[in-house]
Structure 1
Amino acid sequence: MTEELRIAIYAALLGLVQLCLAAWSPLGVAGYLRWNVGPRDTAFDVGPIPGRLRRVFVNFMETYVFFAVIVIALSLVNRSDALSVWGARLYLIARIVYIPCYAFAMSYVRSAVWAVSFFGILATACCLLF
């Protein structure tokens, strides 16, 4: 197994953690449990931090699919090198850092950390393309 695939698995586990954070963080909000077990026909205001944790998970899902496809392709064509490993590590570390940055509304820092994770995807993709 390549290092990039191992990192993709760690990132998938991070996604599961984020899913749990998004699902469990609003449990203390009055009326949420009743809404959650119902048909969910209307939106429910879970509050700032649980709402941010939900959005950070959605954001993760928007980037992870690209990262995973690139890493799998790298493995299939045996193009792993130092840059692809570095890019994969950068992606994972930035995605970990992104969670508290988003949850605690660190606006400019959050955007910079997102850019770092995106750069990690690009660095990994460069090894596939060039």
Structure 2
Amino acid sequence: MNLQLQWLVWSIALGLVYLMAYACVILKSEGVMWTAGPRDEGQPQQGLAGRLARAQRNYMETWPFFAAAVLLAHVLARESAQTEWGCLIYFWARVAYLPLYAFGVPWLRSLAWVVSMLGLVMVLAALF
């Protein structure tokens, strides 16, 4: 498996970290009865649970584009040092994004998002 596909696999694992971080916090804050129930009253949007939910949603807004770009680069044999760096930048910026969002760090969180988008665009640009 080449490096770009390895980063894709790691990005799947990172998505699970985002999901489990939210799940653990919501279980602790709302309790097992709420998490086992139908949740008709909606998701908590306050505090750490709300920030983790928004971070996870944001990850899922960008990840499909990253995955598609990586897979297309592989299928079209457009992988290069540029796509390797793009994958690396996307992944590590998204790693940084989670705690920055969870702890409510302004500006740096936005910077991490912008850097992750730079990595994604680097992979995408290799397709043109």
Equivalent positions of 1:1-130 (< 5 A) are: 1-29=1-29, 31-45=30-44, 47-129=46-128
Query: How many pairs does the alignment contain?
Result: 128
Tell me which amino acid in the other structure corresponds to 1:64.
W
Structure 2, unmatched stretches of 5+, are none
Q: CA deviation at 1:120?
A: 0.4
In the superposition, the TM-score normalised over structure 2's length comes to 0.94
- Identical columns (%): 35
Moved over 3 A (4+): none
Cα root mean square deviation, aligned? 1.3
Larger CA deviation: 50-59 vs 80-89: 50-59
Distance 1:106 1:77 in 2: 39
In the superposition, the TM-score normalised over structure 1's length comes to 0.92
